[in-house]
Amino acid sequence: MNAIIFSAGWGMVMMFCSFLISNKSMYRHIAVIGLLLLLAVNILESGGTSVFHVDAGDMLVYTRFGYVFNSIAIASTLIYVLLTGKDIERLGNYVAEYFVLIFFVLCGVCILSAYNNLLMLFIGIEILSIPLYILTGSDKRNLKSNEAALKYFLMGSFSTGIMLMGIALMYGGTGTFSLEVARTEVGLYKGVSFLEIIGLLLLMVSMCFKVSAAPFHFWTPDVYDGAPAVFTSFMATIVKAAGFIAFLKLCSVRMTATSTAIDWQLLFAIIIIATLLFGNITAIFQQSVKRMLAYSSIAQAGFMLFALFSLNEYASKGLLLYAAAYSLATIGVFAVLVKMKDVTFEGFNGLAKTQPVLAASNTIFLLSLAGIPLTAGFLAKYYMLASIISTGHYIWLVVVAVLFAAVSVYYYFRVIQSMYFKTGEPQTETITKSFKIGLVVLAAIIIIIGVYPQAIFSWLYF
Amino acid sequence: MIALLLILVPVIGGLITFSIKNENSVKGFSILVAVITLILALTGLFSNDQSLLHFDASWIPDLGTRITLGLDGMSKMLALLTAVSLPIIITATYKNTYADAGKFYGLMFLCQAGMLGVFLSMDALLFYFFWELALIPAYFLCSIWGGEKRIQVTFKFFIYTFVGSLLMLVAILFIYFKTPDHSFALQSFYHANLTASQAQWMFWLFFIALAIKMPIFPFHTWQPDTYEQAPTAVTMLLSGVMVKMGVFAVIRWLLPIFPAASQSNSSVIITLSVIGMLYASLIAMRQDDIKRLIAYSSMAHMGLMCAALFANQQVGIQGVLIQMFNHGINIIGLWIVADAIEKQLGTRKFSELGGLAQKAPTLAVLFVVLCLANVALPLTNAFVGEFLMFNGLFRYNPVMAGIAGISIILAAVYTLNMIQKIFYGNTVALTENAHDSSFNVNVALVILVIVVIVLGVYPQPMIDLTQGNANLFITKIP
């Protein structure tokens, strides 16, 4: 609750900074301070000490799960700003506003991790999305950025419309916006109102759109490719993870309750297979690393969907782990990508010779994304597989998924091959020493989580 | 404690090697680390103190996995093979120069640590971790220092084995949820409650990973290319030790976990293995390249081991256990000769060679002994193993044993043909100015030849060492 107020408030403060302070790098420092405070406030509140007391009634309910996710999202944003903050400054004249928008997105994230009411879900999604439309188009003189922003906005508002329609139908079916519904048995289809099922289906479509699950993923490659790489990194990690957390809550309450009437698992199985298929197969054929990462983020979404499929203890814990592991690795990969002048695979040729630290840490990020053991990514994938295998059914789905995981090795390792086994003269922006230290620390975190995850497991109890 | 040190020494040694710049000090330090590991393995071999041989520590309680390492007869033997092979490989290839030698030897040690981990793990998830860890350094070694087509070939190798190990992970996870106490420990896995059809499915998921590693027909296509393109030192490690991971895992994990499924699928697997043996032998006869010939010959031998494993006869398994060690020794010797010839004369084709025995008599004598061991002549180390394996296979099905026996004849044909073409006949232009092998190569080969002859004449210690494993698991078969 405090995190919501605080992130919105700090966003407002930073807006005023933009005309009170003219030094560009000052904004970054203010943003870092804001994120640190935000993290502190959130951790304090999860420990029971809150700064403001606001009674949100039944609209927002904070659980330990929500707090942990908020912490992960805020910490990831902090790492993201520390690593790529300088590149945000290079982007244009409205540096302060970019940070403001990032804070507003975080506000949306915090709402999504706590909503207990469909209206709050809608508001959270909107608060999250609208700043993103702006950030996508922030490279004003680049036609691709403009195109991406318009595309994202049109498609995004369309999916929001579908979501609203779904919520309205669900209201018609159950008579309440609240997530928890007292059910009556009169005049219903297998105990569930027909309107509610249609509403849930529409809601599912729009959520699939937000987390870029097939067949609603078509916007993802264009938007991720067109948006400035610094913001793609943010969109593909924290925002996507927040979408999944919201989706998980919706599924674990509403879809479990209506599973007598409709086989959600089958529906999700189809979506998972389609997502893995589209994401992995198209990623293979890309020539640009940035576009490859866009497709691979669809493929990773396929793995995160496992949590929505199985909805057990492994799923919720695993989704948090997945969100953390995937965000950290992707932020790292994008931080390196932003420094490259040529973002095709050829542009990475010979990077190990000229920038050994960049190449080595990038390798660890890619290994983590590919799910190689002793990295955080393996653990995340492990939990996702375990969540289904523990039920003892749908083993074929797991087998299909691991085959696609092997496919993903193909395109992630192409980058490693370019960096280490091929020769070339890669052009990079100037690399500062602090950036290198940041990358190494991030890589070390990924390895530590992979080797000794027990250290963070104690956090994840809720 | 020894069990833990066996893994830690190469890991730490490898990490230190990474940071050394000077090539000569890299090599000196590498020999030191390799010899320390060897001494540890020998200490393990002669020790009976259980507290020394086992190590157990908490790792990730939430996942039900522990760091459990142990040395029993079979893992003692394979740890010894792994530990012996590295000093010999380093000695034999001492004169080879590598760009970034520190990284090369560092990765070799990490690979060694991974393989030792596989042989020592008594916990399924730990086993899986090491299984992958052995692969990653090998991938970098082959892709950076390999031959012309190294990138594609090594990538194929990597993807192949990675697919296999992911399928194995699914099987391991599935069994984990069926164990009585939700644990990855070896003993819990042996007591998993699987229904017949579940066991059948999981057996195949598990087996494919191991079949790719061994490799068994039709999963073998990565093998000849990788052996050919990898730098020879790495090829020795891959063919001498890494492929044994597959055979080892069958004995340690697959057969005891799925006794019934192993038995019901044995005819399919033995048929595949025998087809692979004949197929590899026939292709080996048509080769004109020493490396490819050895690669196919190795595949034929692995096929025999796999067939003997699934014949469900104690003698056969006993044969496989000792053959794992002997095959490793022999094939490393063959690669050393191939490398010595290639480094000196710049070619691996027999058609371009001839009469080398006149110029390099020492190399010729040592090579002939190793080749005779490769065709399992009596009084060489391979004879006992092959005899026992055929014995087992014969008891299972005489016809299969007969067909598999053809490959022995073929092995003699192609091996002797190779010796004849390279070392005998008249010298050609290329071998006119050849000289004998260098001192370091001779040292490595002489050690191997001594092992070949000693174990050929007196194999009993090895049989005693591994008897426990063969007995233990024969009682598991219903």
Residue B59 belongs to some domain of the structure: no
Helix (H, G, I), strand (E, B) or coil at A372: coil
pLDDT under 70 in chain B at which residues? 472-478
- Chain B contact residues (CB < 8 Å to A): 59-63, 128-129, 132-133, 136, 140, 143-144, 150-151, 155, 158-159, 162-163, 166-167, 169-170, 173-174, 177, 201, 205
Write the secondary structure of A234-293 as one string of H (helix), E (strand) and C (coil).
HHHHHHHHHHHHHHHHHHHHHHHHCCCCCCHHHHHHHHHHHHHHHHHHHHHCCCEHHHHH
| Chain A CA closest to residue B195 | A392
DSSP A136-150: HT-STT-HHHHHHHH
B163 within a domain of the structure (yes/no): no
Phi, psi for residue B349 in degrees, rounded to 5 = -85, 130
* Residue A125 CA from chain centroid, whole number: 13
The C-alpha angle A239, A200, A168, rounded to 5 degrees, equals 95
Tell me whether A417 touches chain B (CB under 8 Å). Answer: yes
Could you read off the pLDDT of B144-193 as tens digits, one per residue? 888 888 888 888 888 888 999 999 999 999 999 888 888 888 888 888 88
Radius of gyration of chain B (CA): 21
| Diameter of chain A measured on Cα atoms | 72
Interface test with B, best of A381, A387, A398, A422 (most B CBs within 10 A): A398
Looking at beta carbons, which residues of chain A come within 8 Å of B158? 409, 413
DSSP string for residues in A173-189: HHS--BSS-----TT-B
Q: Which of B135, B170, B182 to mutate to test the interface with A (most CBs of A within 10 A)?
A: B170
Instruction: For residue B28, count other CB atoms closer than 10 A to its CB.
Output: 12
B-chain residue closest to A409, CA distance: B159
ipTM of the complex in this document:
0.89
A390 contact residues in B (CB cutoff 8 A): 177
Do residues B232 and B290 make contact, with C-beta atoms less than 8 angstroms apart? no
Residue B252, domain member (yes or no): no
Which token pair is A432? 């500062």
Tell me the percentage of chain A whose pLDDT exceeds 70.
97
Dist CA A120 CA B472 (whole Å): 63
Among the partner residues A374, A452, A457, nearest to B133 by beta-carbon distance = A374
Q: Is residue B280 part of a domain?
A: yes
Question: Phi and psi (nearest 5°) for A340?
Answer: -85, 140
Exposure string for A296-327, b = 16+ CB within 10 A, e = fewer: bbbbbbbbbbbbbbbbbebbbbbbbbbbbbbb
Q: Using the beta-carbon criterion (under 8 Å), do B144 and A403 form an inter-chain contact?
A: no
Count of CB pairs separated by less than 8 Å, A with B: 71
The C-alpha angle A11, A15, A19, rounded to 5 degrees, equals 160
Q: Do B150 and A457 touch (CB under 8 A)?
A: no
Chain B: closest CA distance from residue A282 (Å): 18
Query: Which tokens go with A337?
Result: 């990508």
A-chain residues within 8 Å CB-CB of B174? 389, 395
Count structural domains, chain B: 1
Could you tell me which chain B residue has the CA closest to the CA of A414?
B155
Q: B311 in a domain, yes or no?
A: yes
Instruction: Give pLDDT tens digits for A73-99.
Output: 999 999 999 998 888 888 877 888 899
Distance from CA of A400 to the nearest CA of B (A): 10
* Chain B residue numbers touching A453 (CB-CB < 8 A): 60, 62-63
pTM for the model:
0.92
CA angle B252, B256, B258 (to 5 degrees): 125
Is B273 domain-assigned? yes
For chain B, say whether A410 makes contact (Cβ under 8 Å): yes
Asked, for residue B1, whether it belongs to a domain, the answer is no
Tell me, what amino acid is at A225? D
Asked whether the beta carbons of B206 and B225 are under 8 A apart, the reply is: no
Range of the domain at B364: 265-478
Vertex B223: Cα angle to B18 and B371 (nearest 5): 95
Q: Is B68 helix (H, G, I), strand (E, B) or coil?
A: strand
Do A372 and B132 make contact, defined as CB atoms within 8 angstroms?
yes
d(CA A331, CA A341): 18
User: Residue type at B424?
Assistant: Y
Nearest to A380 by CA among B369, B22, B63: B63
Cα angle vertex B315, ends B313, B316, to 5°?
65
Q: Which residues of chain B have a CB within 8 Å of the CB of A405?
A: 166
**Predicted confidence (pLDDT) per residue in A153-212, tens digit:** 999 999 999 999 999 998 888 888 888 876 665 556 666 788 888 999 999 999 999 999
Q: Any chain B CB within 8 A of the CB of A108?
A: no
Residue type present at position B170 = V
Are the C-beta atoms of B257 and B190 separated by less than 8 Å? yes
Q: Residue B478: its pLDDT value, please?
A: 44
8 A C-beta contact, residue B384 and residue B316: no
Nearest to A402 among B132, B159, B170 (CB): B170
Cβ of A421 under 8 Å from any chain B Cβ?
yes
Ranges of beta strands (E only) in A6-86 are none
Nearest to B9 by CA among B117, B100, B81: B117
Give the one of A373, A385, A386 whose C-beta lies nearest to B133's C-beta. A373
Distance from CA of B177 to the nearest CA of A (A): 6
In what helix (H) or strand (E) does residue B155 lie, and over which residues does it extend?
A: helix B150-178
- The residue in chain A having the minimum alpha-carbon distance to the alpha carbon of residue B148 is A421
Residues of chain A positioned with their CB less than 8 A from the CB of B59: 452, 454
User: How far apart are alpha carbons B195 and B200 in whole angstroms?
Assistant: 9
- How many whole angstroms separate alpha carbon B239 and alpha carbon B225? 12
Determine contact: A423 vs chain B, CB below 8 A: no
Residue type for position A112: L
In this structure, is residue B221 part of a structural domain?
no
The answer to whether A187 faces chain B, any CB pair under 8 Å, is no
- CA-based nearest residue to B24, from B108, B96, B111, B113: B96
Separation of alpha carbons B188 and B382, rounded Å: 35
Q: Which residues contact B208 (CB under 8 A, 6 or more apart)?
A: B164, B167, B168, B219
Q: Quote the CA–CA distance of B223 and B243 in Å, as a whole number.
A: 10
Q: How far apart are CA B390 and CA B398, in angstroms?
A: 9
In the predicted model, residues of chain A with pLDDT beneath 70 are 182-191, 459-462
Nearest CA in chain B to A388: B174
Q: Which residues of A touch B167 (CB under 8 A)?
A: 399, 402
E-assigned strands of A33-118?
Answer: none
A399: distance to nearest CA of chain B, Å?
A: 7
Contacts with B136 from chain A: Cβ below 8 Å: 367, 372
Q: Where do the structural domains in chain A lie, given as residue ranges?
A: 263-462
Q: Which of A26, A14, A234, A43 is nearest to A136 (CA)?
A: A234
